[in-house]
Amino acid sequence: MKYPARVKIIDVGPRDGLQNEKQPVPAAVKIELVQRLQDAGLKEIEVTSFVSPKWVPQMADAASVMAGIVRDSGVLYSVLTPNLKGFEAAVASRPDEIVVFGAASEAFSQKNINCSIAESIERFAPVVQAALDAGIAVRGAISCTVGCPYEGEIAPEKVGYVARLMKDIGVQRVDVADTIGVGTPIKVQKALEAALAHFGIDQVSGHFHDTYGQALSNTLAALELGVWNFQSSVAGLGGCPYAKGATGNVATEDVIYLLQGMGIETGIDLDKLIDAGQFISDHLGRPTQSRVAKALLTKRAG
């Protein structure tokens, strides 16, 4: 088995992680989290979302967070924009990349962004065009690629359908997301392959929530296909407010430990990453969800 020689991680903790917190997290804390992630060597960070504050109040400070981060020229900062209103608000913050987010499940599309899959593509098209015209890169997230909290199992054909529609409107790369963490390796490979029918291997990433504890296995299954881009959250933060019961993303610390153990290059300093995870966990007042961080923190204490 030949695995990729290197892997790129987008840490989505500041966005996917903190969008789901019950308690408000001050912008200053989000800004420091971004700083700590870049200090740990992350080259891509999903910072925030320009979404309706009525839908997701946790992201209402998007512009302040973007204004407060101290940018490193080697780091790509992305933000979620569900519509033109969000894009227009985001553009002033100079994101390197915007993310339009759709779903392979009709019911989830309705719950999350209040429109059908077809309508979402119609909404995204002018956003994608405006971003490309402004020299901003465009990523597309596809939720519920293996399972949906409302529809159950999702066929790979539905993933292929959305991936094709995204490709047709100019989306440059896509995230295959297991929103509720129900996927297992073969199912996840099928979902990835459905996206790979429309996008190249460098343009497809894995975004695995760890609700059922399968995310590392699914990461390995993705690596076996040659996928080398992944999203994860420091300390395993995360969850979508419209996917009840779904827990956080796979912890970045756990993915890095896996990759380092396999001799795959990531450019990330695991100790500094654990410090970043500890910073946000301390702020939230609960232990990290990362098994690797727990183990290494215990070792440090000893």
Residues 42-61 vs ligand HMG: string with x where CB under 6 A? -------xxxx-xxx-----
Pairing of strands 97-103, 76-80: parallel
Residue 141: DSSP 8-state: E
Verify binding: residue 289, ligand HMG, rule CB under 6 A.
Answer: no
Q: Name which of Mg ion, ligand HMG, none residue 61 binds, using a CB cut-off of 5 to 8 Å depending on partner kind.
A: none
Q: What secondary structure letter does DSSP report for 83?
A: S
Determine if 16 is a binding residue for Mg ion (CB under 5 A): yes
Smallest distance from the beta carbon of 246 to Mg ion, in angstroms?
8
Taking the C-alpha atoms of residue 283 and residue 293, their distance in angstroms, rounded to an integer, is 16
CA dist., res. 126 & res. 85, Å (int): 11
Residue 211 as a binder of ligand HMG (CB under 6 A): the answer is no
- Tell me how far, at minimum, the Cβ of 165 lies from ligand HMG, in Å: 17
206 binds ligand HMG (CB under 6 A): no
Residues 6+ apart with CB under 8 A from 19: 49, 56, 58, 59, 238, 239, 240, 241
Applying CB under 6 A, does 97 fall inside the site for ligand HMG?
A: no
In the complex with ligand HMG, which residue's Cβ is closer, 54 or 299? 54
Q: Which residue is nearest to Mg ion (CB)?
A: 16
Residue 240 is among the residues annotated as catalytic for this protein = yes
Name which of Mg ion, ligand HMG, none residue 143 binds, using a CB cut-off of 5 to 8 Å depending on partner kind: ligand HMG
b/e sequence 265-300, b meaning 16+ C-beta within 10 Å: ebebebebbbbbbbbbbebbeeebbbbbbbebbeee
Dihedral, CA atoms, 148, 97, 220, 156, nearest 10 degrees? 40
Q: What is the residue-wise DSSP string for 155-208?
A: -HHHHHHHHHHHHHTT--EEEEEETTS---HHHHHHHHHHHHTTS-GGGEEEEE
Residues 63-92 that bind ligand HMG (CB under 6 A): 80, 82-83, 85-86, 89
Our CB check for ligand HMG shows the closer of 247 and 281 to be: 247
Residues assigned a catalytic role? 240
Contacting positions for ligand HMG (CB under 6 A): 16, 19, 49-52, 54-56, 80, 82-83, 85-86, 89, 101, 112-114, 141, 143, 177, 179, 207, 209, 240, 242
Interacting residues with Mg ion (CB under 5 A): 16
